Structure 1
Amino acid sequence: MSDAGRQSFTDKVGAAVKPDSEKTTTEHMGDKFHGKMDNAAGSMQPQGEKSYGQKVGDTFTGGHDATTNNNSSIVDKAKSALGMGDKH
């Protein structure tokens, strides 16, 4: 369950598990847009006001806490290990 204004955990996982090579340009753009908007919303929302599920979701998907410490999310690390990460 996600907090108001945040992307659901199910949507985040769905976007993360689909290989980038199978995504359309529109899907890539949507993932980036939704990810940036969700991270911005997570950064503005105080930790004390986040639900337990949102805190867990942020940890796994590189939300507020992970990005402010300049760490990769667990999902990013897993994708990288499987050779599915960004190729920039």
Structure 2
Amino acid sequence: MSDFGRKSFTDQATDKITPESQKPTTQKLGDTASGAYDRTTGAVQPDSQKSTTQKATDSLRSGSDDASSRSKGVAQSATDTADSAARGVKDTIGSVTGNK
């Protein structure tokens, strides 16, 4: 059971499980808006005013958000490393062949 005005754990899980390609644009926009509202509400509402279920749901979401953020950081780092290596190879070939 979720607190008044908040998305239930089941609703949040369903939003995540359903592939974006299978959602109409209106649902994608609704998921984004309601997700942002729920995150904001969860952040400003004191834990003492949340139900046990809502505390657990907010905690799970926070962990999921952190993991997602870290994985994006790792992916960007890998992309940056690959780009840097490609530039290095291009520069080396250019200096050997005289082409820059």
* TM-score range relative to shorter protein: 0.5 to 0.7
Shift of 1:61: 2.3
Structure 2 counterparts to residues 9-88 of structure 1, below 5 A = 9-62=9-62, 66=63, 71-72=66-67
**SS of aligned partner of 2:43:** helix
For 1:13 and 1:20, how far apart are their aligned partners in 2?
13
Please report the TM-score for the alignment, with normalisation by the length of structure 2.
Answer: 0.60
Shift of 1:21: 1.5
Structure showing greater radius of gyration is: 2
- Which 4+ residue blocks in structure 1 deviate beyond 3 angstroms? none
Which consecutive unaligned segments of at least 5 residues does structure 1 have?
Answer: 81-88
Alpha-carbon RMSD across the aligned residues, in angstroms, is: 2.4
**SS of aligned partner of 2:66:** coil
Specify the code of the residue in structure 2 equivalent to 1:26: T
